[in-house]
Amino acid sequence: MSRAGSPWRRLGTLLSTLIALTVPIALLILAPWWLLCALLLLLALWFAATRAGQQSWSVAQIGILTMPQRLGSSLVVVIGIAGVVAVLVAVLAMAAGFEATLKQTGTDDTVIVMRAGAQTELNSVLDHDSAILVSQLPQVQRTAGGQPMASPELVVVASLPKKSTGTDANVELRGVGERAWELRPALRITAGRKFQPGLRELVAGKGARAQFAGMDLGSTLKLNGQSWTVVGAFESGDAYDSEIWGDADSVGPTYRRGSSTTSVTVRLSDAGALEAFKAALASDPRLKVDAKTTRQYYSDQSADLSHFIRILGITVGSIMAIGAVFGALNSMYAAVAARTREIATMRAIGFRGVPVIVSVLLETMLLALLGGAIGAGLSWSIFNHYTASTLGSNFSQVVFAFEVTPLLLWTGLKWALAIGFIGGLFPALRAARAPVTAGLREL
Amino acid sequence: MKYLHLIWGAMFRRKTRTIFTLLSVLAAFLLFGLLDSVRSAFANAGGSVAGVDRLVTVSKISFTLSLPKSLLARIEAVPGVSQVSYANWFGGIYQDPKNFFANEAVAPNYLDLYPEWRISAVQREAFRNTRTGAVVGERLANKYHWKLGDKVPLQATIFPQKSGSNTWAFDLVGIYREIDPKQKDQEDQLFFNWDYFDEARAFGNGNVGWYTTRVADRNAAGQVAQAIDALSENSDHETKTQTEQAFNASLVSQFADVGLIVGAIMGAVFFTLVLLTGNTMAQAVRERIPELAVLKTIGFSNRSVLTLVLAESVLLIVLGGAAGLLLAGIVVSAISSSIGSMLPMIPVGAEIWLRGLGLMVLIGLIVGALPARRGMRLRIVDALAGR
C-alpha cells in the first residue's frame, strides 16, 4: 500500500490542515491586487532564475500540456469554480448596485430636514409653518432674486399596476416645490416637459416608467378619484428615477394632506454651514426636526439591505465553495494518480519534491483561474446593468441596476484562486511524498 | 435490497473519493435546505390557510394612507360580515433601528379575529383592561428577554405624543403563541391598545390604518369585499379590500422575486453538482470494469448490473443529501432564533424533505445513467481482457 493510514485519519489531518489554511486563504482574499501581482512577478522570476524554478516550470509544462487527456476531471474543476464565482459575483453585484443607486442620490451640500425621530420621509410630517421657518434660516443659500434655495416636499405612495405582472405595487409620488429642480442638478427632462405648478400634472422617472403601466406621455392616472396627466419623463441616474413627481401644492389636497409636507430639502450657503444650521434648528423652540445631508440620508437607507445582501452572498458563496473544493480535490487526486508513474520517473531521475508540488499547484490554480474568469464573465454578461427592484424604506419600489464592478470581478477571481489553492495543495503534497519505488511499480 | 452490502462495498471502494463526493453533495443540499426554507417562507406569506376568511381593507390609493373611522359601522352592516376590527401601523423602534419588528395599535377585538394566536383568557382580559398594555408574540419576547409586567419603551418614528415626546412606554400584559410552526414569524409582533394610541398621538386622531374583517362564509369573501369597496366608491377615501392572503402576497412580491433569485442559485448549484458527481461515478465505473465483467460472468444480468450502478449513485446522493438537509434543519432553527424577523425562514419540515429527496433521487439517476449504461453494455470478453 502506497497510501498509508486509514482514510478516516487522513480525513482528520485534511480537516485540521484545512482549518490551519484558513489564515493564508483569508489573507489571499483580503489582499490588494498589487500584492498578488508582486507575488506573481516573484514567481515568474523564480521560474526564470533559479534551478528549482526552471525544473518546476518544465514539470508544470508537462502537466499543462497533458491536461486535455484528463478533460473530464479538468472540466469539473473549471465548471465547479465557475459556478461559485458566478453566483458570488451576481449576488454581490446586487448589493453594490442597490448601494450605488442610493448613495449617488444625495450630495454633501444639500440637507434634508424631517420631523424629529422620523427615519424616512414617508414617516415624517412637517406643518407648513415649520417648513417656512426652516427655509428662512440664514445658512440656507439664496437665489439671485433673494429666494431661499429650499424645496418643501411631500412624499406619498401611490398603488399602481406593474407592467410585468399587472398587480399593484407601490410607487413613490413626490410633490416638490419650485426649487426642487435646481437642488437636483443631475436630473433632466428627457421627454415632454416639466409639470406646471398648480395643475394635476406629473413627470415620471425612468425606472418608474419602465416598471409601471400607464406612464406614457399624455396618459392619465387616477389618484383618489382625480385625473392626473403624465406630461414628461425624467432621468437622473439615481433613486429619483423610481419616483413620479408633481407639484406639492397639488399632491397635498389629493392625499388630504392640506399644506403640510414631509420634508424640506435645502442647499446650504457653504458645506461647512451644516453644524450652524443644525444648531439653529435645535435652538428654535417652534421646531422639532432632525437634519442630515442628503448623502447621509440616502446612505442610511441603503446600509441595512446591502449589508444583508452581502452577508447572504458570502454565505451562499462559501457553502458552494466548500462543495467546489471537494470536487477539485477529487479531480486533482485523480489527475495525480493518473500521473503516478510519470512523477515517480521524474523523481527517480533526480527531480526534487518542490517542482512536483509547484507543478500540480500551478495546474490547479490555472484551471481555477479559468473557472473564475468564466464565472465572472458569465455574471458580468448576464447581470451587469440587469435592473431589479425592491421595496425601499419608503414602502415603495426602488429600481436599481446590478453593478458588476471590476472590484467584484477581482473578488471573484481571488475566491477562485483560493479554492484552486486548497484543491491542489493536498494532491500536490501526495504526489511529492509518494515513495518512488511504489510509484514505478504501479501499472 | 439483498445487494445492499455489494453496493455499499462498491461505493466505499475508494473511501477518500467517496467521502469528498459525499461532502460536496452535502454542501449542495445544505444550500438547498436553507434556500428552500426562505423561498417557502415567502411563498407561505400568501398561502396561510388561517387567513382565508379574513379581509383587509386599505385605502385604494395606497395602504399608507389612513381611512376614516366612520367606515367601521358601515362595514359591520355589510351582509356576510361577522366581525370587524381595525388597526394602525405604529413603526416604533425598540432601542435601535436594527431591531425591527412590526408594532401596531389595535382595536380591543383585534386578537379575536386571529384564533390561531393562542393567548390565555386572563392575559386577553388584562390587555383589554390595561390602557398602556401590550401583547407580543412568544418568539419576540424570547428574543428580547421580555417577561410579563416589563415596561417596553418604543421610539415613535411616525407618531409623536401630544406632549411632543417621541417615547411611548407599554406594559407587557400578554404573550401569544402562533400554532402553525410555519408561521412563527407571526410571533414577531407587538400590539397595543387603540384607545391609548388614539388619545395620545399628536395627529391623525380618529383615522385608522386598515380594517380587518372576518367573513361568515369564506366562499362569499369575493362578494363581501366588493360590497365593502362599494361603500366608499367615488368618495375621497376609496378603499381596496382583499383577502389577507392576497394582501400579504402582494406585499411580499414587492420585496423581490425571491423564487427567481433562489431558482437561479439552485440551478447553478445543481448543475455543478451533477457534473461533479457524474465525473466521480464515471471514474468509479471505469475503474471497476473488470469487476463488473466478473459479476456478469457469474450470472448477473445486464439489467442487474445497470440497477447496481444506478443504485450506487442514488445512494451516494441520498446519503450526502440527507446529511445536508439535516444540517440545514439545525442551521435554520439556529438562525430563526437569533436573527428572527430579518430573514423569514420556515423549519425544514416534511415538505422540504420531500422536495429534497425527490431531487436527490432524480440527480442520482441522471448522474448514474451514463456509467450504468456503460456497465450494462459491457462485453465480458473485452472487459476481462482489459480492452
Q: Which residue has the higher pLDDT, B231 or A432?
A: B231
Whole-number average pLDDT of chain A = 87
Q: What is the mean pLDDT of residues A197-207?
A: 93
Q: Is the pLDDT of residue B220 over 80?
A: yes
Residue A181 to chain B, least CA–CA distance (Å): 26
Question: Whole-model pTM?
Answer: 0.85
Residue B64 to chain A, least CA–CA distance (Å): 7
The answer to whether B157 faces chain A, any CB pair under 8 Å, is yes
The confidence score (pLDDT) of residue A4 equals 47
**Residue B259 — very low, low, confident or very high, per pLDDT cuts 50/70/90?**
confident
Q: Are residues B297 and B344 in the same domain?
A: yes
* CB proximity list for A154: less than 8 A, separation 6 or greater: A174, A175, A248, A251, A252, A255, A257, A260, A261, A262
> Among A172-176, A178-182, A327-331, B345-349, where is mean pLDDT lowest?
B345-349
- How many whole angstroms from its chain centre is CA A407? 10
Long-range contacts of A296-304 (CB under 8 A, 24+ apart): A296/A106, A297/A106, A297/A112, A298/A102, A298/A103, A298/A105, A298/A106, A298/A239, A299/A102, A299/A103, A299/A106, A300/A119, A301/A102, A301/A120, A301/A239, A301/A392, A301/A393, A302/A98, A302/A99, A302/A101, A302/A102, A302/A103, A304/B98
Residue B80 to chain A, least CA–CA distance (Å): 26
Residue B215 to chain A, least CA–CA distance (Å): 24
- Domain membership flag for residue B59: no
The confidence score (pLDDT) of residue A294 equals 93
Of the candidates B205, B236, B267, which is a domain's last residue? B236
Contact state of A83 with B271 under an 8 Å Cβ cutoff? yes
Q: Are residues B276 and B367 in the same domain?
A: yes
Q: Residue B319 is part of which domain span?
A: 4-45+256-384
The answer to whether A69 faces chain B, any CB pair under 8 Å, is no
**Residue B289 — very low, low, confident or very high, per pLDDT cuts 50/70/90?**
confident
- Domain membership flag for residue B78: yes
The confidence score (pLDDT) of residue B202 equals 86
Q: What is the mean pLDDT of residues A280-303?
A: 90
The confidence score (pLDDT) of residue B265 equals 83
The confidence score (pLDDT) of residue A5 equals 54
The confidence score (pLDDT) of residue B1 equals 60
Please check whether residue B15 is in contact with residue A7, taking contact to mean a CB–CB distance below 8 angstroms.
yes
Domain chopping of chain A, boundaries: 7-103+302-441, 117-287
* CB proximity list for A357: less than 8 A, separation 6 or greater: A428, A429, A431, A432
Q: Are residues B270 and B347 in the same domain?
A: yes
Q: Are residues B184 and B278 in the same domain?
A: no
**Residue B341 — very low, low, confident or very high, per pLDDT cuts 50/70/90?**
low
Look at strands B151-155 and B102-106 and give their pairing.
Answer: unpaired
d(CA A347, CA A112): 72
Chain B residue with minimum CA distance to A167: B250
Domain count, chain B: 2
Of the candidates B207, B236, B265, which is a domain's last residue? B236
**Bridge partners (DSSP) listed for residue A62:** none
The answer to whether B17 faces chain A, any CB pair under 8 Å, is yes
What pLDDT, in 10s, does the model give residues B146-196? Answer: 999 999 999 988 898 988 888 999 999 999 999 888 788 888 899 999 999
Q: Which residue has the higher pLDDT, B340 or B330?
A: B330
Chain A residue with minimum CA distance to B157: A118
Q: Is the pLDDT of residue B143 over 80?
A: yes
Contact state of B64 with A156 under an 8 Å Cβ cutoff? yes
- Domain membership flag for residue B290: yes
The confidence score (pLDDT) of residue A203 equals 96
Identity of the residue numbered A440: L
Look at strands A201-205 and A226-235 and give their pairing.
Answer: parallel
**Residue A209 — very low, low, confident or very high, per pLDDT cuts 50/70/90?**
very high
What pLDDT, in 10s, does the model give residues B13-56? Answer: 888 889 989 999 999 999 999 989 888 887 776 555 556 789 99
The confidence score (pLDDT) of residue A1 equals 38
Give the C-alpha distances (Å, rounded to integers) separating B382 from B289, B293, B304, B378. 10, 9, 19, 8
Contact state of B64 with A391 under an 8 Å Cβ cutoff? no
Question: Which residue among B26, B62, B283 places its CB closest to the CB of A159?
Answer: B62
Q: Are residues B19 and B104 in the same domain?
A: no
Whole-number average pLDDT of chain B = 87
- Domain membership flag for residue B379: yes
- Domain membership flag for residue B251: no
d(CA A7, CA A15): 12
Q: Is the pLDDT of residue A2 over 50?
A: no
Among B168, B272, B285, B374, the strongest candidate for a mutation testing the A interface, having the largest count of A CBs within 10 A, is B272
Q: Are residues B89 and B184 in the same domain?
A: yes
Chain B residue with minimum CA distance to A120: B157
Question: Which residue among A224, A304, A330 places its CB closest to the CB of B61?
Answer: A224
Q: Residue B343 burial by CB count (10 A; 0-12/13-18/19+): exposed, middle or buried?
A: middle
- C-alpha cell of A320? 458552494
Q: Is the pLDDT of residue B57 over 90?
A: yes
- Give the count of beta carbons closer than 10 Å to the beta carbon of residue A114: 25
List of chain A residues whose C-beta atoms are within 8 Å of the C-beta of residue B342: 308
Q: Are residues B119 and B171 in the same domain?
A: yes
What pLDDT, in 10s, does the model give residues A218-233? Answer: 999 888 778 999 999 9
Identity of the residue numbered A138: P
Residues composing chain A: 443
Among B62, B157, B201, B338, the strongest candidate for a mutation testing the A interface, having the largest count of A CBs within 10 A, is B62
Nearest to B143 by CA among B329, B341, B345, B347: B341
Nearest to B343 by CA among A429, A149, A309: A309
What pLDDT, in 10s, does the model give residues A346-359? Answer: 888 888 888 888 88
Which three-class secondary structure state does DSSP give residue A303? Answer: helix
Please check whether residue B130 is in contact with residue B193, taking contact to mean a CB–CB distance below 8 angstroms.
yes
Question: Which residue among A75, A157, A323 places its CB closest to the CB of B27?
Answer: A323
Of the candidates B236, B267, B293, which is a domain's last residue? B236
Q: What is the ipTM of this complex?
A: 0.82
The answer to whether A167 faces chain B, any CB pair under 8 Å, is yes
Contact state of A87 with B158 under an 8 Å Cβ cutoff? no
